[in-house]
Structure 1
Amino acid sequence: MPERMDYNHRGRLWGVDLGSRGSDGHDILRNIEDPVRHVAFIKVPKAASTTMGNIFLRFGDEMNLKFALPYNGSGGYVLTPKYFYLPPRNITYDIACAHAKYNRTDYDKYLHSDTKYIAIIREPFSHFQSYIRYMRPKNLLNISGENPVFKFLFLNTIRRNKTNRVDIICNSMARYLGFPSEIFFKKRNQTLIDNYIRKLETEIDFVMIVEFFDESIVMMRRLLHWELRHVLYSKLNVNKNIDARLKFGSNEGKLHKICADLEYRLYELFLRKWMDVLRRQSSDFYDEVAYFRKIRMKYENFCLFVKSQTKLNVSLTIEGSSWNKPFTVTEGDCMKHHMDFDKYSQILFKKQQTI
């Protein structure tokens, strides 16, 4: 019988020997009685960040926790009073999940000392495509011709050879993960980059991988001791607009790999760590991932049905299993499930004034 995973371990996930420990369902159900309530999610745009943000908002709302809420939109540049409301009565935030560049000094100042830090990254070229299509940066869109993406990347290669700087658009994930600004605006300092990557490895408890999203969700659920119902999700803020001028083929991919060398280094590092963690999981983990996917589809289909109807009074009951207690999904749950981050934040801001 495999030794069970030590879910009460308060160290970094990367440092836990997950391979030889496995888990049985009884341990999981026992551990959800003591959920982690202090979480910082480093929200990287166009890396399933809106979907993840909704998960954290719903959990914190149910638990009556205090959020770091921005004055405007879905976040601010950094986690400081210039962009975020101070915690109620100037006490500490429980959860930070809005867009804000990671700076551990700022986060430590406003969050609890036992906060779990979670980040998310995505395959760099896929992320670049989504980022460009959604953010539509003017310095790329304003390039004339039929293929502004190729031209942007080609010109960037020439500029990089002259300046030896890290491009901020090609490496936007690195920017949100808090890499020092000087690497984007001054000559590349490889020692500074190397030191900061080591710093991220020691400070972030868990880095999710978009290409292994459901596996990441289940692993996060176990790390945080949350119930399965807390991490159910729908894909939010998916960009469906297609601009025919924006082409992302193999030629663009080759140039992008040069432009986004820092993104690729980060992704390949944490992907290797993630694959090592996955290889050391017991069959129970993969059984839970399959079960999670089945329940998530039931949940999403129910909520889509509710969303398409009016004046319903229906609910969905999910039976208990080795990984969850029985629970019921209501119309109110579905409403929050599909609520955009800005609207939900406004509701929570009003609620926090009374906590």
Structure 2
Amino acid sequence: MEEKQPQQGKDDGEGKTPQTEGSCQHRDNIALLKMHKCSSSTLQNILFRFGEKHDLTFIMPPRGNYLGYPAPFEKRFAIQVPWNEYNIYTFHSRFSYRGISNMMPSDTIFITVIRDPVKMYESTFTYFRLGARYGLKGGTALRDFLQDAEGYFRSSANKQRIKNPMLYDLGLEANKMHDMSHIEKKIATLGDIFDLVLISEYFDESLILLKELMCWDLDDIVYFKLNARSSSSVRNVTPDMAKKLKHSMQVM
């Protein structure tokens, strides 16, 4: 389990947004753990625009949109710039506080965005075509999957990611995914690491909190939705299906 070591300024107030009455200090250094299917592409685009506006340096993969995924992030997964200074971390990865901190400044603000697990799982199931992976077809694929979710989990080589996608992206070790004590420790550790956790269902409100935390202008958080699905592609999740889905994501 990674432990967050106190960064310079984290405990004495210098690393947090220094504020006086009616004022705050503008921030540039930010690390977003980009979560799958949680409005993270929209948030990433806000950071892209902000970084371009202020001529900031991004941690970028040599190709594609992933930084070493599914391995937890390490410096070797990123392009190295000659001046060795970075401001924004925002590409898909599995979370590693140690790996990110090895590249980002000590006053970096850590954020992520999460979503109602039922809605997130339905979106993930459809987007990654998990039904086809298990030989389930048509509009009833998710319902059929939930009739024996644990059996399907056991049949998958990547069952930890499929069982609890958000916890997997947040870096919980695969061999501890079924251990509640480790899960609770991981959640507590993440609570100490992240300065702000945005909520997809309250995205606008979350952006206001981000604006205040970073001391940005309102124009910095204006956005267009990205990667939003058409309503016709969203599967209906009944209350019974939602109950089964929540149960399947629990430790067993």
Q: What TM bracket, shorter-length normalisation?
A: 0.7 to 0.9
Give 4+ residue runs of structure 1 displaced > 6 Å after superposition: none
Question: Relative to structure 1, is the Cα distance of residues 138 and 261 closer, same or farther in structure 2, using a 3 angstrom cutoff?
Answer: same
Equivalent residue for 1:79? 73
Contact 1:55 1:232 (8 Å CA) reproduced = yes
Q: Of 161, 171, 175, which residue of structure 2 is paired with 1:182?
A: 175
Alignment partner of 1:225 is 2:215: yes
- Aligned pair count? 233
Equivalent residue runs for 1:58-97 within 5 Å: 58-76=49-67, 77=69, 78-86=72-80, 88-89=81-82, 91-97=84-90
Question: Relative to structure 1, is the Cα distance of residues 260 and 120 closer, same or farther in structure 2, using a 3 angstrom cutoff?
Answer: same
Question: For the aligned residues, what is the CA RMSD?
Answer: 2.9
* One-letter amino acid of the counterpart of residue 34, structure 2: K
Equivalent residue runs for 1:180-329 within 5 Å: 180-184=173-177, 188-240=178-230, 242=232, 246-261=235-250
Secondary structure in structure 2 of the residue aligned to 1:70: coil
Secondary structure in structure 2 of the residue aligned to 1:64: coil
- Structure number with the higher helix fraction is 1
In 2: Cα distance, 1:159 partner to 1:55 partner: 37
Equivalent residue for 1:35? 26
In 2: Cα distance, 1:249 partner to 1:140 partner: 23
Alignment partner of 1:51 is 2:42: yes
Secondary structure in structure 2 of the residue aligned to 1:208: strand
Secondary structure in structure 1 of the residue aligned to 2:31: strand
In 1: Cα distance, 2:237 partner to 2:73 partner: 34
Contact 2:160 2:168 (8 Å CA) reproduced = no
Question: Relative to structure 1, is the Cα distance of residues 62 and 144 closer, same or farther in structure 2, using a 3 angstrom cutoff?
Answer: closer
Shift in Å at residue 243 of structure 1? 5.2
Question: Relative to structure 1, is the Cα distance of residues 243 and 39 closer, same or farther in structure 2, using a 3 angstrom cutoff?
Answer: closer
Give the percent of matched residue pairs that are identical in Structure 1 and Structure 2. Answer: 25
Contact 1:140 1:149 (8 Å CA) reproduced = no
Question: Relative to structure 1, is the Cα distance of residues 117 and 249 closer, same or farther in structure 2, using a 3 angstrom cutoff?
Answer: same
Alignment partner of 1:129 is 2:122: yes
Question: Relative to structure 1, is the Cα distance of residues 65 and 145 closer, same or farther in structure 2, using a 3 angstrom cutoff?
Answer: closer
* TM-score, normalised relative to structure 2: 0.81
- Which blocks of at least 5 consecutive residues in structure 2 are unaligned? 1-11
- Radius of gyration: which is bigger? 1
* One-letter amino acid of the counterpart of residue 77, structure 2: Y
Shift in Å at residue 94 of structure 1? 0.9
* TM-score, normalised relative to structure 1: 0.59
In 1: Cα distance, 2:194 partner to 2:245 partner: 27
